[in-house]
């Protein structure tokens, strides 16, 4: 509250007190004129309009957040479903190999026949993996490539080129162009190189 022309003046929200006309006689700073009442009711209407707009925007924001969260959950579920179905396809490709192993283990045969049966099953497994996009990484006789080979041992020798793979201890594999497992290898190192 401040004093102007010797009278009390109230600071009302939304009123321009600097440019307000002084209160008339008998008016204790109250608003009795129809123009002033219209200004206050217009201000109240504007305030109510802003509140309604704010409530509408808050509601729209809450709905947008809920829609976003639902879309995120849906995407996570779809990704999991895709992984499950992809895994199911891979398992279906390997089931005949398991069937063949079970038949081989039940059969009573000579060691040579058993070995040829296991070799056929091995070939069947390689074919199933090839259909899924799995490829063996070539190693023995190749140049060492740290991107696809893991050197377990380096042997000094003049019988092979420098960094040539002498022996493969564990085969490496790629799925399409992605490395699944590096090949574990023994690598040649030329003396003096």
Spatial contact of 166 and 157, defined as CB atoms under 8 Å apart: yes
Question: How far from chain centre, in Å, is Cα 12?
Answer: 55
**Enclosing H/E stretch for 41:** helix 34-106
- Name the residue among 146, 156, 155 with its Cα closest to residue 184: 146
Spatial contact of 1 and 29, defined as CB atoms under 8 Å apart: no
Please determine, for residue 160, whether its predicted confidence score (pLDDT) is greater than 90. no
Spatial contact of 160 and 139, defined as CB atoms under 8 Å apart: no
pLDDT attached to residue 63: 95
Domain boundaries, the chain: 31-132, 135-193
In degrees, rounded to 5, the angle at the alpha carbon of residue 131 between the alpha carbons of residues 127 and 136 is 65
The count of other CB atoms within 10 Å of the CB of residue 32 is: 10
Q: Provide the phi-psi class of 141: left if phi over 0, else alpha when psi is between -120 and 50, else beta.
A: left
Tokens of 150: 């893991």
CATH of 135-193, one of 2.60.40.10, 3.90.1150.10, 3.40.50.300, 2.30.22.10: 2.30.22.10
- Residues 75-120 have pLDDT tens digits of 999 999 888 888 888 888 888 888 888 888 888 888 888 888 889 9
Please determine, for residue 7, whether its predicted confidence score (pLDDT) is greater than 70. no
- Residues 8-66 have pLDDT tens digits of 444 455 555 565 555 555 444 444 555 556 667 888 888 999 999 999 999 999 999 99
Class of domain 31-132: alpha beta
What angle, rounded to 10 degrees, do the helices at 111-131 and 34-106 form?
160
- Residues 116-154 have pLDDT tens digits of 888 999 999 999 999 889 999 999 999 999 999 999 999
């Amino acid at each position: 509250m401040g004093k102007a022309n010797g009278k009390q003046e109230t600071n009302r929200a939304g009123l321009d007190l600097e440019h307000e006309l002084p209160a008339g006689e008998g008016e204790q700073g109250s608003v009795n004129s129809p123009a002033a009442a219209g200004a206050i009711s217009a201000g109240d209407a504007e305030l109510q309009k802003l509140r309604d707009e704010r409530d509408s925007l808050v509601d729209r924001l809450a709905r947008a957040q809920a829609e976003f969260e639902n879309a995120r959950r849906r995407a996570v579920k779809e990704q999991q479903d895709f992984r499950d179905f992809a895994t199911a396809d891979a398992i279906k490709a390997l089931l005949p190999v398991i069937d063949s192993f079970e038949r081989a283990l039940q059969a009573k045969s000579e060691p040579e026949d058993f070995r040829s049966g296991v070799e056929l099953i091995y070939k069947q497994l390689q074919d199933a993996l090839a259909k899924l996009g799995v490829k063996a990484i070539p190693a023995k006789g190749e140049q060492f490539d740290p991107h696809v080979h893991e050197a377990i041992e380096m042997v000094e020798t003049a019988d092979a080129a420098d960094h040539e793979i002498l022996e493969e201890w564990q085969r490496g594999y790629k799925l399409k162009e992605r490395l699944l497992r590096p090949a574990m290898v023994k690598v040649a190192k030329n003396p003096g190189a």
